[in-house]
Amino acid sequence: MMGLLDKDPCWSRRTAGALIMVAAFIVLMGIITGEAMYPGYHTGDNDISDLALEEPSATIFNSTMIVGGIMFSLTAILLRHAGLPRSVTVPAFLMGLGGAGVGLFPVYTGSPHYVAALMTFSMGAVTALMAGRTADAPFKYISLALGTIGLISLVVFAMMWGGEPIGPLGEGGMERWVAYANMVWAIGFGGYLMNSGPDRSRSKMSCNRP
């Protein structure tokens, strides 16, 4: 890790962007693959974490969450080296830590899993909001919008969890509004960070600030 941090800050920024995009892709495809291989699975009725209850979906889902979570936490370290503020890098690190925790502590473990899931969802939305404060338009507004959608969806999902569904989406559908908003933001953020062209902006995320 120390060798990585000896690199140029712009290298850290672009590498972090690539890792974020790949991590989001791994998690997204792990969920999709697990759903496809889980008999009778319904995205409206079943939570994402239910994928850990049946093989081979459990191995696919848990392993992709662990790998994706570790990768995302690593990006937070790289982004801090690239000069991004702690208001972005700390929640990003916690989001990755929570994601890895979801895989290490499947849903049947109870409280450890729920704490990890809450950390992943909430810190993902907070990271998007904080990143939106320091990014340039138009990604600034996309980031703020996705962070807001993630937080509002999390509140609605929490109200539905263990109770009656609100609206036609069901508990599982509402949870996906939280998770997918975070993953779409991560993919977009990765692309934003990897933009290594000349940048005349004064954004804290810019590689070549004047």
Residues 202, 144: Cα–Cα separation, whole Å: 18
* Window from 36-40, 100-104, 154-158 with minimum mean pLDDT: 154-158
**Does 42 score more than 60 pLDDT?**
yes
DSSP annotation of 88? H
Any idea what DSSP says for residue 51?
G
Average pLDDT, the chain: 87
Instruction: Give the residue, 207 or 124, on which the prediction is more confident.
Output: 124
Long-range contacts of 148-151 (CB under 8 A, 24+ apart): 149/177, 149/181, 150/121, 150/124, 150/125, 150/177, 150/178, 150/181, 150/182, 150/185, 151/122, 151/125, 151/126
For 114-154, what is each residue's pLDDT tens digit? 999 999 999 999 999 999 988 898 999 999 999 999 999 99
